[in-house]
Amino acid sequence: MRGHYRTGILVLIALAVLTGIEYVIAVSFPSTALLFLVAIMKAALVLYYFMHVTSLWSEEGGH
């Protein structure tokens, strides 16, 4: 169980770092494409780790 909690913490840290990067990009060298790229990376993390998007096509029904 601790491993599962650890994964959540690591994802949270990654999201926080990416949000910080987003902010730095916006204030130092604003680029719409870069900001969208970072947002897509954050979205991918949420979709994969938090929303379990892969469970949609997995054989096991889950809970």
What separation in angstroms does the CA of 3 have from each of 9, 10, 19, 42? 10, 10, 24, 21
Q: Report d(CA 25, CA 57) in Å as an integer.
A: 36
Taking the complex as a whole, how short is the minimal distance between the CB of residue 17 and other proteins, in angstroms?
11
Taking the complex as a whole, how short is the minimal distance between the CB of residue 35 and other proteins, in angstroms?
5
Residues that bind other proteins (CB under 8 A): 1, 4-5, 8-9, 11-12, 15-16, 19, 22-23, 25-26, 30, 32, 35-36, 38-39, 42-43, 46-47, 49-52, 55-56, 60-63
